[in-house]
Structure 1
Amino acid sequence: MTYRNILIVKLSAIGDVIHALPVASALKKCFSQARITWIVEPPAYDLLTNNPYIDEIIVFEKAKFKSLSGFYQYAPAFIKTLRAKQFDLALDLQGLFKSAAISLLSGAPRRFVYCNAREGSDKVGKRICGPNSQGHVVERYFDVVRELGCNITNPEFVINITDEEAAVAAAIAKQAGLTLESPYIVLMPGTNWPNKCWPADKFAQLADQLFASNLIPVLVGGNAEKNVISEIAAQTAILPIDISGRTTLKQLAHIIKNARAVVAGDTGPMHLAAALGTPVIALFGPTDPNRNGPYGLGHHVVTIQRDCQGCWQRQCPEGKDCLSDIDVKIVYEALKTVIVRRETS
């Protein structure tokens, strides 16, 4: 069976959208005449722009639909826009009530949802549980595409950084005191769960050790990470480069792409680094690296040595600082290993 108009519903978060990126290229290669439309929320929109495998991006502004009055005001035009596309297939890679509603309202006669569907989304689309249903989320998404009869080999993460975005990123870095030709390591101290964060004092110790090894530590993050970045900087002997809150996702991608390596917890920009092929030292505690770890080769995962590792709890019920047991020396040695491996490969 062939398809002409395919809708991908993957709204958020940044890491999840990155994991789903290979689906677009796989679909386009399988159904070369198909028009691929992706619906996404504003925070992850930047990741999809200038992608040769995505013909149209529809932005879903969830905030407009939260109230009853907002729903009545904005839903009719939104539904009309979806129906006008005449989708013949919708892939719900979010697997939640809101994504299922969008999939249904699209009017697509065939609707698939990936294996981990929740909130009744499997009542709207056919749940696809393939051979990788317990594996990495990238492969779980690919199982949905394989169900369509597509022969998939290697996932392709397309993040198209324009010359203008690269130039602005280089200018932002230079203003902060960094040239992208310098040997630098990107440090990402923030995550969306408090217990996925490595302690600030550990990042500070690592930053000092990097400087001592002629590697420049570069702190990145959004405005939400400003406090922890200030806390890290206050504990260092030499101030790291700080470009937090200054870049778009694509500009940040260019800075990450030119780094020797990245140190991060389980966060969206960490997955961005993995997608770009930059070696990642990923620090994992409450989440499962087998499902959510950095995808691909050349990365190194460091986990806590506790029976409760991978508990999937947003807050520790015992009040423990989840990642505090990860020693700076272990992270530093892992960094040296991935850098040498990359330089000699």
Structure 2
Amino acid sequence: MGAEVQLRRGARLLVRLPNWVGDVLFCTPSLAALRRARPDLRVTALVRPSVLPAVEGLPLVDEVLTLAGTTPGRTLAEARRLRGLGFDAALVFPKGFREALLVRLAGIPERVGMATDRRGALLTRPVPFTREDWRLHHVIQFARVLGPLGVALEGEGMTFPIGPADREAVTTLLRECGVSGPYAVFHAGASKPPRAWHPDRFAEVARGLSGRAGLRVVLVGTAAESALCEEVRSGAPEAVNLAGLTSLKSMAALLEGASLFLGSDSGPMHLAAAAGAPVVAVFGPGAPGKTAPYVPAGRFRVVYTAHPCSPCRQAFWKECRPSPSGKPPCLEGVHPSSVLTACLEMLDRK
């Protein structure tokens, strides 16, 4: 990889973070390692507005800039803005060509990122990314960007900034919804519907947790997922539907106080892990080895049928036929009894 990047004391470092909340969370161990090894650096995070709540108030960065857009014109304007801020180096965590092009156009002297998407020439320190690296957990993949700075992970975990106002908002919301005792948080959605477990199976687990553990189930998600949450409630009427009623930060505060989180392979699953909730994650076509909750083994369970074709590229119905319910066979094979058992085991460990 060559000699380490030598940054002067107090150098200005731009950190381009990914475009999805889960991936931003996967980068926070790297940010923590960087802060530990080089507390003198002034770190500026560059993010899309959609992930801003994941970095606002994060003690691992000193400043946050938001991208105005990614069209060619916006990219040129952004490059001019960054050029005027005098950054000494940039760490580019996303693997795409456009992100590396931006820091090259900005004229930042040292540009570090993974040598992916034919962008090596745009970086001064392209980090090799092999097929073996591709199989690693995303947290470990992202941490490879630290290598040219001589920094490595030393057990750092994921972080999400939760403030007193976020906790107060959740306390008020739960009181208004009549939730006064211990609760579990369920997220029934996913970025692609075939990745999401059945709502009726979430309902069956909710009934089991209520009867056997005395937990009230709180359903979370976006406003667009409210109807899906109502499908869960149709089979578990005691559940409370908060879909669309929480911000990302108040959802994190809600998860912080939860006895358990249950969800599919999705952003809220990683948010739950970062907030400290015990996690049960249902995987179908995804890759648990790469995107399972990045927490100690005792704090999560993955329920996964591990079909021979899993994980796949998730080009749904081009590589497999859907089950009668419209789900891929790998997700169809995850039964409520297995998930309930995993949930009860996690509660016993708490």
- Give the TM-score taking structure 2 as reference length: 0.88
Task: Kindly state the Cα deviation for residue 261 of structure 1 after the two structures are TM-superposed.
Answer: 1.1
Q: Determine the structure 2 residue equivalent to 1:328.
A: 336
Distance 2:186 2:279 in 1: 10
Q: Given the superposition, is the C-alpha separation of residues 56 and 328 from structure 1 closer, same or farther in structure 2, using an over 3 Å criterion?
A: same
1:178-257 equivalent positions in 2, closer than 5 A: 178-179=179-180, 182-213=181-212, 214-236=214-236, 238-257=237-256
Task: Kindly state the Cα deviation for residue 225 of structure 1 after the two structures are TM-superposed.
Answer: 0.9
1:39 to 30, 36, 46: 46
Q: Determine the structure 2 residue equivalent to 1:136.
A: 137
- Equivalent position amino acid for 1:334 in 2: A
- Equivalent position amino acid for 2:121 in 1: K
Question: Contact 2:253 / 2:275 at 8 angstroms: preserved in 1?
Answer: no
Offset from partner CA, 1:246-271 (integer Å, 9 cap, x none) = 11111100110111111111111101
1:338 to 313, 334, 346: 346
Q: Given the superposition, is the C-alpha separation of residues 301 and 217 from structure 1 closer, same or farther in structure 2, using an over 3 Å criterion?
A: same
Q: What value does the CA root-mean-square deviation take over the aligned residues?
A: 1.9
Task: Kindly state the Cα deviation for residue 17 of structure 1 after the two structures are TM-superposed.
Answer: 0.7
SS of the residue corresponding to residue 337 of structure 2 reads helix
Q: Determine the structure 2 residue equivalent to 1:48.
A: 55
Q: Given the superposition, is the C-alpha separation of residues 104 and 188 from structure 1 closer, same or farther in structure 2, using an over 3 Å criterion?
A: same
Task: Kindly state the Cα deviation for residue 77 of structure 1 after the two structures are TM-superposed.
Answer: 4.2
SS of the residue corresponding to residue 147 of structure 1 reads helix
Identity among equivalent pairs (%): 26
Task: Kindly state the Cα deviation for residue 133 of structure 1 after the two structures are TM-superposed.
Answer: 4.8
SS of the residue corresponding to residue 45 of structure 2 reads strand
- Give the TM-score taking structure 1 as reference length: 0.90
Q: Given the superposition, is the C-alpha separation of residues 151 and 201 from structure 1 closer, same or farther in structure 2, using an over 3 Å criterion?
A: closer
Task: Kindly state the Cα deviation for residue 196 of structure 1 after the two structures are TM-superposed.
Answer: 1.1
Task: Kindly state the Cα deviation for residue 309 of structure 1 after the two structures are TM-superposed.
Answer: 1.8
* 1:319 partnered with 2:322: yes
Task: Kindly state the Cα deviation for residue 316 of structure 1 after the two structures are TM-superposed.
Answer: 3.2
SS of the residue corresponding to residue 113 of structure 2 reads strand
1:111-130 equivalent positions in 2, closer than 5 A: 111-114=111-114, 117-118=116-117, 120-125=118-123, 126-129=126-129
SS of the residue corresponding to residue 14 of structure 2 reads strand
- Equivalent position amino acid for 1:41 in 2: R
Q: Given the superposition, is the C-alpha separation of residues 330 and 99 from structure 1 closer, same or farther in structure 2, using an over 3 Å criterion?
A: same
Q: Determine the structure 1 residue equivalent to 2:275.
A: 276
Task: Kindly state the Cα deviation for residue 227 of structure 1 after the two structures are TM-superposed.
Answer: 1.9
Structure 2: 5+ residue stretches without partners: 1-5
Distance 1:85 1:295 in 2: 34
Alignment coverage as a number of residue pairs: 330
Distance 1:226 1:121 in 2: 41
Question: Contact 1:89 / 1:108 at 8 angstroms: preserved in 2?
Answer: yes
Larger CA deviation: 253-262 vs 98-107: 98-107
Question: Contact 1:219 / 1:243 at 8 angstroms: preserved in 2?
Answer: yes
Distance 1:173 1:98 in 2: 42
SS of the residue corresponding to residue 90 of structure 2 reads strand
Distance 1:201 1:81 in 2: 50
1:67-146 equivalent positions in 2, closer than 5 A: 71-72=72-73, 74-75=74-75, 77-114=77-114, 117-118=116-117, 120-125=118-123, 126-129=126-129, 133-146=134-147
Question: Contact 2:143 / 2:152 at 8 angstroms: preserved in 1?
Answer: no
1:29 to 11, 14, 36: 36
- Equivalent position amino acid for 1:59 in 2: T
Question: Contact 2:226 / 2:241 at 8 angstroms: preserved in 1?
Answer: no
Distance 1:325 1:151 in 2: 39
Offset from partner CA, 1:129-176 (integer Å, 9 cap, x none) = 388553111011112213311243012423221111210122122222
Question: Contact 2:233 / 2:240 at 8 angstroms: preserved in 1?
Answer: no
Structure 1: 5+ residue stretches without partners: none
Q: Determine the structure 2 residue equivalent to 1:176.
A: 177
Distance 1:153 1:165 in 2: 30
